[in-house]
Amino acid sequence: MKILNLYAGIGGNRKLWGNEHDITAVEINPDIAKIYQDLYPNDTVIIDDAHEYLRQHFREFDFIWASPPCPTHSALRLTFESNGWDSVYPDMTLYQEIILLKHFFKGNWVIENVKPYYKALIDPSFVIDRHFFWSNKFIMSIQFERNFTDIRDKPKEMAKIYGIDINILKDFSNYDRRKILRNCVKPEIGQYIFEAICK
């Protein structure tokens, strides 16, 4: 199966997919892309804008996973606004990608994002933990053990949950490490969805 993993980060969602598929990962940050490549040397890693890459190449794949940036949709945005942070528009690339794949892609696809602070403009196909998912395939909503209540700001503990060696993030500050890890989808969730797609 030819798989496109967009906004790949360090590959939390991909961790338990195995190595028997042809996986292309797209990540815009070269330092993070390097970590992904070190973790998954069999994958093809492309440093590029995932949104544009999707538009140009979506027909070349059998399965597409996309995790567009979530900060402008997150409930934390309401906290930022109330603390005087600059206002930002929600990033509508999320909905552009859902509409593109829903109407024009012939394969299976999943788009992941956080539960937004507003009512989603397109209802999610299913919900797992703090994530909304849109897909062309029915996948049962289930809940996984939540681990972040007390350790949200402790990168070492977060890395353990993801089964990632914290030393791969040694060149990032504590803030960056937290952000990189918070952007990961738990590997067990990625595996659950991947196995449902492959059935």
2-198 placed in CATH 3.30.70.20: no
> Over the stretch 121-170, which tens digit does the pLDDT of each residue have?
999 999 998 889 999 998 988 877 665 544 456 888 888 878 888 899 98
> Over the stretch 98-133, which tens digit does the pLDDT of each residue have?
999 999 999 999 999 988 988 999 999 999 988 899
**Chain mean pLDDT for the chain:** 89
Instruction: Quote the pLDDT of residue 149.
Output: 46
Q: Is 162 or 23 the better-scoring residue by pLDDT?
A: 23
Bridge partners of 5?
25, 65
> Over the stretch 29-88, which tens digit does the pLDDT of each residue have?
999 999 999 999 999 999 999 999 999 999 999 999 999 988 777 776 666 555 666 777
Domain boundaries, the chain: 2-198
